Structure 1
Amino acid sequence: MAGNVTIDRPEDGVALLTVGDGGDPGHLTTCATVDHLANALDEVIADGARVIVLASSVPGHWLEHASLDDLLNLVEGKEASGDGSGWFRSLQTINRGTAVTIAAVNGDTSGGGCELGWACDLRVAEEQVRFSQPEVIIGAGTGIGGTSRLMRLIGRTVAAEVVLTGRPLTAQRLYELGGCNKVVPTGKAVEAALELASVIAGNPPQAVAGMKKMLGEAEDLNQSDGIQNDQTISQSLFANPDSMATMRAYNDRLAAGETMDQAYWS
């Protein structure tokens, strides 16, 4: 355990991080909690995690927006539960670290919590969940991707509605807009996310890491530069000895008469 973040390792290459109650009366996310999350992310990656699932043990809540006590104290130069750097460390590791990240959203999420979820590679949400960016209601703004990253996920029109009204989207609506990979019944987010994690962790590690890098870097590039970057990463994978051995093994199976359905997906 790292602070109030519980670490489980359900199978080789997969880590489950479950965020507990940080002590805020409104179940908002304290700076101390994101410090613990950042440390837990570093710990499991150093220990070999290739896929990380993020969940919550707080009934009705995933990661909510930043603790207002902490925000006010930081702005006024007073002592907060942490220095705030955990938000940025967590965000960087989730979005650009070596491990694939899956948000198992098993409760409402808002503000900075939502922004950490938008930074994940994949999102699985339970049917009762609501997503919101309520910063405008309290006179603030989305500071770590609630506008720019959400706009890329679901488009400018609906993103504008979300950030300008502060009102929530349902999990089903988010799924229909392409911002969520799967909507599952209440209580099933972690199970579904771990199933997805198992599939990803079963693929060659170098290829998973390469595709994670490709996806992340493509966010900052225009199409021409993105395609060139795809080529650079892809060429390094084709030349990787482990990749070459895997390709030969699959080639033998296809040559022996297996179909792609049999060789790749059965």
Structure 2
Amino acid sequence: MIAATIRSSLRPSVARSVLPSTRHLSTSLPRLSNPSAAATASIGSYENILVSQPASGVTLITLNRPKALNALNSALFRELNDATEAADADPSVSAIVLTGSEKAFAAGADIKEMKDVEYAHAYKTNFLGHWTKLTTIKKPIIAAVSGFALGGGCELAMMCDIILAAPTAQFGQPEINLGVIPGAGGTQRLTKAVGKSVAMEMNLTGRFIGADEAAQRGLVSRVVTEGSVVDEAVKVGSIIAKKSQIAIQAAKEGVNASFELSLQEGTRFERRLFHSLFATKDQKEGMAAFAEKRKPSFKNE
């Protein structure tokens, strides 16, 4: 949840060991290798994010608070929730890519916004509750992570459906260094991703893990070549956009249900989803195309 400014949220020894490796990273927004493929203007009017459509069926949302290493605050999350809900409702959009800058996906929560919050206010207002609205989006969200994904930034990445990481990516939950613990899933989603022992160490010590270890532990799908993480995320989104969107939504729902249901309940739920797809035109088209040795033409019906 909390790691607004890296130096203030880490012990000096940790800060020294982490920051030098990123000195030469640009704070500029990640660049697509084919700029002409991206929309030249941001979609919508936002102050803390940029929204574009770099490929057919794919919306790209870029966190845009570079001076604050994309520290997360209420204003940013209001815009992020608005943009993702708009993409979710847009029939021309099939997948969403979420990214930050080359130096920081998001370095954590904005400490200035929360340092004076009192318990009664936090409890009555369900403080940080709106951060998890991302998990209600039906369309797939792909996180393209470069640089720091710490505290709330790590939690934000874990709310996405797929995480692709650049070699520079570092993940961590250093809230313990501020006398608190994560508040947006850092003790829950992280444990389900990497297991109890690793999650416990990260939460109790504030230790970061790099991209390779994150992939090894199952926190990220894979590590991609330096400078190409956004390109690769857009490619994955484009692949998803060519599938039956009814089946895509069902697959996402099924995988997510596995975190809440027992194996018996989960497989029963999966079968119900599987059976329901036989009522769609896309199922008929997909199986007919396979039998006829041609590419399917899905209508999302």
What is the TM-score of this pair, normalised by structure 1? Answer: 0.86
Cα distance, 1:84 vs. partner? 8.2
Is it true that 1:8 corresponds to 2:52 in the alignment? yes
Alignment of 1:18-97 (within 5 A): 18-21=62-65, 24=68, 27-48=70-91, 49-57=93-101, 59-75=102-118, 88-93=129-134, 95-97=135-137
3-state SS of 1:246 partner: helix
Q: Distance in 1 between matches of 2:159 and 2:104?
A: 18
Report the secondary structure of 1:186's partner residue: coil
Contact 2:173–2:182 (CA under 8 A) maintained in structure 1: yes
- The one-letter code of the counterpart of 2:237 is A
Q: Which residue of 2 aligns with 1:116?
A: 156
In the other structure, the counterpart of 1:174 is 214
**Are 2:177 and 1:133 equivalent residues in the alignment?**
no
Aligned residues: 248
1:91 and 1:214, CA in 2 relative to 1: closer, same or farther beyond 3 A?
Answer: same
- Distance change >3 Å, CA 46–CA 3, structure 1 → 2: farther
Cα deviations by residue, 1:115-138 (Å, 9 ceiling, x for unpaired): 011121111111011111011111
Work out the CA distance in 2 between the residues paired with 1:172 and 1:122. Answer: 16
Q: Is the 8 A contact 1:124 1:181 kept in 2?
A: yes
Matched letter for residue 269 of structure 2: N
Structure 1 runs of 4+ aligned residues shifted over 4 Å read: none
Cα distance in 2 for partners of 1:251, 1:96 equals 36
Give, in whole Å, the separation in 2 of the partners of 1:30 and 1:47: 26
Give the unaligned 5+ runs of structure 1: 255-261
**Matching residue within 138, 143, 149 for 1:103:** 143
2:115 match: secondary structure:
helix
CA 1:27 to 1:241, structure 2 compared with 1: closer, same or farther past 3 Å? closer
Deviation at 1:72, TM superposition (A): 1.9
Residues in 2 aligned to 1:242 and 1:212: alpha-carbon distance in whole angstroms: 17
In structure 2, distance between residues paired with 1:189 and 1:205 = 24
* Alpha-carbon distance change, 39 to 74 in structure 1, aligned in 2, over 3 angstroms: farther
Q: Provide the residue aligned with 1:251 in structure 2.
A: 291
Change (3 A) 1:66 1:84: farther
CA distance in 1, matches of 2:51, 2:289: 35
5+ residue gaps, structure 2? 1-43, 297-301
**Paired-residue identity, %:** 28
> Partner residue of 2:231?
191
- CA deviation profile, 1:236-263 (whole Å, cap 9, x unmatched): 1122122222211212228xxxxxxx99
Tell me the distance in 2 between the aligned counterparts of 1:21 and 1:43: 21
In structure 1, the partner of 2:201 is: 161
Preserved contact between residue 60 and residue 106 of structure 1 (Cα < 8 Å): yes
Residue equivalent to 1:258: none
Matches of 2:66 and 2:211 in 1, distance apart?
Answer: 24
Partner Cα separation in structure 2 for residue 247 and residue 168 of structure 1:
46
Q: Distance in 1 between matches of 2:210 and 2:234?
A: 22
**1:248 and 1:66, CA in 2 relative to 1: closer, same or farther beyond 3 A?**
same
Distance 1:122 1:18 in 2: 16
* SS of 1:144 mapped into structure 2: coil
Distance 1:161 1:201 in 2: 38
1:257 aligns to what? none
CA distance, structure 2, for counterparts of residue 55 and residue 202 of structure 1: 22
